[in-house]
Structure 1
Amino acid sequence: MTPADQEERQSLLRPPGGSVPRGRRLFLAAFAAALGPLSFGFALGYSSPAIPSLRRDASRALRLGDDAASWFGAIVTLGAAAGGVLGGWLVDRAGRKLSLMLCTLPFVAGFAVITAAQDVWMLLGGRLLTGLACGIASLVAPVYIAEIAYPAVRGLLGSCVQLMVVTGILLAYMAGSILEWRWLAVLGCAAPSLMLLLMCCVPETPRFLLTQHKCQEAMAALRFLWGSEQGWEEPPLGDEHQGFHLTQLRRPGVYKPFIIGISLMAFQQLSGINAVMFYAETIFEEAKFKDSSLASVIVGAIQVLFTAAAALIMDRAGRRLLLAVSGVIMVFSTSAFGAYFKLTQGGPNNSSHMDLFTPISMEPVDASAGLAWLAVGSMCFFIAGFALGWGPIPWLLMSEIFPLDVKGVATGVCVLTNWLMAFLVTKEFSNLMEVLRPYGAFWLSSTFCIFSVLFTVFCVPETKGKTLEQITAHFEGR
């Protein structure tokens, strides 16, 4: 890089007076990118209303049995794991903007295949394609938003990724109560199609353009997004943007964020969120809620409400505090969940294969219903706690802590970890409860939540109010 380029970059990234940018088009660009998480939330939520409909389908070729229904729900996570790897490769080579535009293709293609499905294999193929798109979107959208946002709003906009995911899930639940599974798949094409149109109107991230030595285009992007060329000081990247090499893992600025990012993703999935969602409808039925679709909408509404609350206070409370509070809430709620199952399990069961969905209650009916309300309260408390911290913040921190030269590979590994853990937890949860029984499985989740709180307190840095370059400097000890 020439001295002239260095000087132009520094003038581009250092504010003359330290004032905060006020570009409104930043929020348009963030909304356009967040339609990717909305799409993948809809894809995740699609299986909940679609599976009961497919079980009743008049066509024998499309009718889902227990095993096929399990794969219909879980295969999305396998596709998303592959999408995380592909997204990590794309984001550094095609750029953030083009990667988001490309991920709309498997979204639309997947839902189109489901709409036209003639047998179960077409259904699974469509779900795999939407899963691939989910993996790409879950990686690229947080990176794009983090790189276009200034520190004062980066927490708010970054948390909107998870807010759009849970909103997509809620929309799928609500639309699924009205629409048949084919028309629900048609509706799934709307958000990615809109994202493709809007992304054509917004620029690439200035930081990515700088890695490609396109300083003039980066200045134009900043002017579009922030209303001026001002920004924050960024350390030089070196002569070339060479990408990731294994030798870079020796650098504290690389291996420390790697450990933190992977651990956050693992703890998110080990928290028990899939176990709680797995039991949600059963718990509501025990509490005399006969309409399971209403139960799903209630759960979705709680997620949206508290994720929105987290987004609004993220840049004031900070990431570490919300993670710690969220973890403590989940410790108590999963412990109460375990206590509920311990109390309703009753006496010994001679069967080697217990019924996981119907707790064996030795209590009177009124007492059992009262305990079910304890479970409903614990579940709502858990979902609210998860939405406040461990839902949005791992994705936000993933987009903040990695230096530019390793961001593609590093975020790809984090997303791969998250989706593989989601697949393993989802598929093996029933087996785990056969070994530990339900109360043991939830108490195990409570133990993981305790470790997540300790990890947050001792290992996770606060990134509130810092530029991405200051975060990198913190890890490198500068």
Structure 2
Amino acid sequence: MSSDAATVEDGLRKPLLHTGSWYRMAGMGSRQSSIMGSSAQIIRESISIFLCVFIVALGPIQFGFTCGYSNPTQSEIINDLGLTISEFSIFGSLANVGAMVGAVASGQIAEYIGRKGSLMIASIPNIIGWLAISFAKDSSFLYMGRLLEGFGVGIISYTVPVYIAEIAPQNLRGSLGSVNQLSVTIGIMLAYLLGLFLPWRVLAVLGILPCTVLIPGLFFIPESPRWLAKMGLNEDFETSLQVLRGFDTDISIEVNEIKRSVASSTKRTAIRFSELKRRRYLYPLMVGIGLLVLQQLSGINGVLFYSSNIFKFAGIASSKAATFGLGAIQNLVIDKVIVTGITTTLVDRMGRRVLLIVSSSLMSASSLLVAIAFYLGDILSEHTRFALGILSLIGLVVLVIGFSIGLGAIPWVIMSEILPVNIKSLAGSVATLANWLTAWVVTMTANLLFTWSKGGTFLIYSIASIFTVAFVKLWVPETKGRTLEEIQYSFR
């Protein structure tokens, strides 16, 4: 079929950033070179895939930096601008409000102009937002900047895991998908670390760096082959896939499989909300939404946004140092996971379900430990306060470790795997919106809940994690070792 011509007729539905003719030139040059061994082909494929993931991972680093920024800067911003605690809480939560708007738009933006184009669009408000915060003289510029950051982060949070899932070979999809959460964690730790030494305005200026590097980097990576196939850009689709798999690799089987998958879902097919009630759509959508909502109900954003205050409540003197310690431990744990393969290999060997159950169980136990420490602190004498503070610190560290093992990365991986291609833009936006709406609720209520009952707050988080274990056992399918097309076909 003359799908390229149809795409032109469709108007806007074409890639904002084209794959580029230099890929074709590189491919021709590679085919004319000497025949290489299979190990060299694997290396070249890995280099291409990892380069793409490395570049788009700058988006989640921006995501993490935005999440972590409010923690070390709280006292400085309040003092410099004369804000109340309530006003600063609004500032912290506005990133989630902006992200909700970005989440609503993310699916359609990624659908119409491609995954790379949507990341380009997301980078611009992020840069403007950080500059607005750095020059803020009152709360209005702070709020505007935070909303803009959140809007960009909302698009990034949907687009990056989808792009990684769509470019990765099935044996690496879980491993590479976990890089998304690793990058978020690196961004959080960088905000914690730099916040110890830099004024809040300088820290905001540094916040523009990930997206400033991401924008030119997008010109050096191919567009998602599955998106190109759906848009009917067959020549670009095969070129992109060839680049990702290696120029000497036979991609004919994968090409045919992807073409069959998108054949029943042309680019003109419009999916309405009423059609989402069909089981083939409703079941994966409910799993995606359920995991992303439960991820936030674990309370992780409340802990990361306000850990300084939690440590003060627990009686630890240097709350900023303790906050950085938490961020550093989180980063080291995930980095260790990536280096040694404790998560990246287990995701594709043991599967998603096992890691989700282990992760949620750890989080439930650690939240319960923190709750007990706070309850005992209200009952026992002041002499035991330091020991209970250390106990709560251990519990929080285990909480973050548990989140990093599975619940941080895997819900996004599964969401990007299970949504059928013809509803991915709509359903992905709905699932991402649900995640950010829940994150906003948790962030807004965390300080209020801590004031009401610190032990009770963590008891609620513990119960939510127990429910996550049950949800995974009952409803979440295993997706390891299956192509995206096989996963999505299983829901029919």
TM above 0.5, yes or no, is yes
What are the within-5 Å matches in structure 2 for residues 426-441 of structure 1? 426-432=443-449, 437-441=453-457
1:273 counterpart residue number: 300
Aligned mate of 1:328, from 361, 364, 367: 361
265-274 vs 245-254, which moves further:
245-254
Preserved CA contact (<8 Å) 1:323 1:456? yes
Answer yes or no: is 1:388 the counterpart of 2:413. Answer: no
Shift of 1:97: 1.0
CA–CA distance in 2 between the matches of 1:279 and 1:190? Answer: 24
CA–CA distance in 1 between the matches of 2:77 and 2:310? Answer: 23
1:344 counterpart residue number: 377
Preserved CA contact (<8 Å) 1:307 1:392? no
Aligned mate of 2:233, from 206, 214, 222: 214
Per-residue Cα deviation, 1:261-297 (whole angstroms, up to 9, x for no partner): 1111111111122343466334545676433222122
CA–CA distance in 2 between the matches of 1:322 and 1:239? Answer: 33
Per-residue Cα deviation, 1:276-324 (whole angstroms, up to 9, x for no partner): 3466334545676433222122111222233341335322221100000
CA–CA distance in 1 between the matches of 2:106 and 2:72? Answer: 29
Three-state SS of the structure 2 residue aligned to 1:461 is coil
Answer yes or no: is 1:121 the counterpart of 2:135. Answer: no
CA–CA distance in 2 between the matches of 1:162 and 1:193? Answer: 20
CA–CA distance in 2 between the matches of 1:334 and 1:119? Answer: 37
Three-state SS of the structure 1 residue aligned to 2:478 is coil
TM-score, normalising length: structure 1: 0.87
Per-residue Cα deviation, 1:318-364 (whole angstroms, up to 9, x for no partner): 11000000111112111112211221122xxxxxxxxxxxxxxx424
2:72 counterpart residue number: 49
CA–CA distance in 2 between the matches of 1:122 and 1:239? Answer: 44
Shift of 1:209: 0.5
Aligned mate of 2:53, from 17, 23, 30: 30
CA–CA distance in 1 between the matches of 2:324 and 2:151? Answer: 26
1:424 counterpart residue number: 441
CA–CA distance in 1 between the matches of 2:374 and 2:138? Answer: 39
Per-residue Cα deviation, 1:138-181 (whole angstroms, up to 9, x for no partner): 01111111101111111111111111011001111111122212
What are the within-5 Å matches in structure 2 for residues 1-12 of structure 1? 1=1
Preserved CA contact (<8 Å) 1:38 1:167? yes
Aligned mate of 1:160, from 179, 182, 205: 179
Matched to 1:439, the amino acid is: G
401-410 vs 423-432, which moves further:
423-432
CA–CA distance in 1 between the matches of 2:314 and 2:156? Answer: 37
Preserved CA contact (<8 Å) 1:262 1:414? yes
What are the within-5 Å matches in structure 2 for residues 89-238 of structure 1? 89-227=108-246, 228=249, 230=251, 232=254, 233-234=257-258, 235-237=260-262, 238=264
CA–CA distance in 1 between the matches of 2:179 and 2:214? Answer: 15
When residues 192 and 279 of structure 1 are mapped into structure 2, their CA distance, relative to the original with a 3 A threshold, is: closer
CA–CA distance in 1 between the matches of 2:114 and 2:299? Answer: 35
How many residue pairs get matched? 442
Shift of 1:400: 0.9
When residues 111 and 276 of structure 1 are mapped into structure 2, their CA distance, relative to the original with a 3 A threshold, is: closer
CA–CA distance in 2 between the matches of 1:194 and 1:300? Answer: 24
When residues 212 and 223 of structure 1 are mapped into structure 2, their CA distance, relative to the original with a 3 A threshold, is: same
Sequence identity, in percent? 38
CA–CA distance in 2 between the matches of 1:207 and 1:266? Answer: 27
CA–CA distance in 2 between the matches of 1:178 and 1:37? Answer: 23
When residues 190 and 278 of structure 1 are mapped into structure 2, their CA distance, relative to the original with a 3 A threshold, is: closer
Three-state SS of the structure 2 residue aligned to 1:56 is helix
CA–CA distance in 1 between the matches of 2:319 and 2:382? Answer: 24
CA–CA distance in 2 between the matches of 1:431 and 1:239? Answer: 47
CA–CA distance in 1 between the matches of 2:422 and 2:478? Answer: 22
Answer yes or no: is 1:466 the counterpart of 2:482. Answer: yes
Matched to 1:472, the amino acid is: Q
Aligned mate of 1:401, from 407, 418, 443: 418
Preserved CA contact (<8 Å) 1:43 1:130? yes
What are the within-5 Å matches in structure 2 for residues 228-307 of structure 1? 228=249, 230=251, 232=254, 233-234=257-258, 235-237=260-262, 238=264, 240-241=266-267, 242-277=269-304, 280-282=307-309, 284-285=311-312, 289-307=316-334
Aligned residues: CA RMSD: 2.3
When residues 63 and 179 of structure 1 are mapped into structure 2, their CA distance, relative to the original with a 3 A threshold, is: same
